[in-house]
Chains A and B, each alone.
Chain A
Amino acid sequence: MAFANPNITAFAVEATEYPDLARRYQVSGVPKTVVNDTIEILGALPQDAFVQQALAGLSQAASHEDTETQV
């Protein structure tokens, strides 16, 4: 996805070497994808579902960022 859009940066994070990051994002299983610190996608999804969740979460985060705090 990063390769398809210059606005996107992608990190593959090795959770056991970065326990602080894993804790911050409450990683209890892998793969776990975190988009913009707020959207979480658990497990490996088919491409259509993954892209949909990542992008749907994005517009949701953008429209609620002023009024809502994500838990």
Chain B
Amino acid sequence: MALLSPADQEKLRDSFKEMTANVRLLFFTQTVGCETCLQTRQILDELPPLSGRISVEEVNLVLEKDKAAQYGIDRVPAIALLSQDGEGQGHDSRIRFLGTPAGYEFISLVHAIMLVGGRASILTEGNRQRIASVDKPVTMQVFTTPT
């Protein structure tokens, strides 16, 4: 059963038309000991049918340790967003979601997909320059709850 209503599907389908680049969602999961992985999988499965530019690739945290380490993922469910160039080569956007992207988090995920998929950033030019001047590694964690 679809989680999204037909009306929401249509709205998303329309929004995703703005995308100019392909986006791959790396979905980190494991087969046992993950209560919310199934729900996350169901949510993510709703997206590719809405846009030919969105694909989902499942990564097993246990079996593909190297890949998980490459993206700094040590727990599941987690999602890493990649942009894909013309040759299908993935480029890490360094945007990650830890936990189930339900509720408002789903909206955040959609916005992140659109950004990685080529939609203009909402940053003002001044802020973009300030951010671009950061010259050492920075990790930002934004905590939310599923409301």
Which A residues are within 8 Å of any B CB, using their own CB?
A: 1-18, 21-22, 25, 27, 30-37, 47-48, 51-52, 54-55, 58, 62
User: Is the beta-carbon distance between B124 and A15 smaller than 8 angstroms?
Assistant: no
User: Is the beta-carbon distance between A31 and B143 smaller than 8 angstroms?
Assistant: yes
Interface residues of B: mostly helix, strand, loop or mixed? Answer: mixed
Pick from B123, B132, B142, B145: contact of A10, CB under 8 Å: B142
Of all chain B residues, the one with the shortest Cβ separation from A52 is B130
**Beyond A25-B143, A47-B123, 5 extra complex contacts between A and B, CB < 8 Å:** A2-B95, A7-B138, A11-B96, A12-B99, A34-B140
Question: What's the Cα separation between A52 and B123 when bound, in Å?
Answer: 13
* Residues on the A chain within 8 Å of B127, using CB: 47-48, 51
User: Is the beta-carbon distance between A51 and B142 smaller than 8 angstroms?
Assistant: no
Q: Which of B8-16, B47-55, B114-122 contacts A (4 or more CB under 8 A)?
A: B114-122
Q: Give the bracket for the number of chain B residues in contact with chain A.
A: 35 or more
Query: Which of B112, B130, B137, B141 is the most central at the interface, judged by chain A CB atoms within 10 Å of its CB?
Result: B141
> Nearest-CB distance from A67 to chain B (Å)?
18
In the A-B complex, list the 5 residue pairs whose CB atoms are closest, starting with the nearest: A14-B99, A17-B99, A9-B94, A2-B94, A51-B127
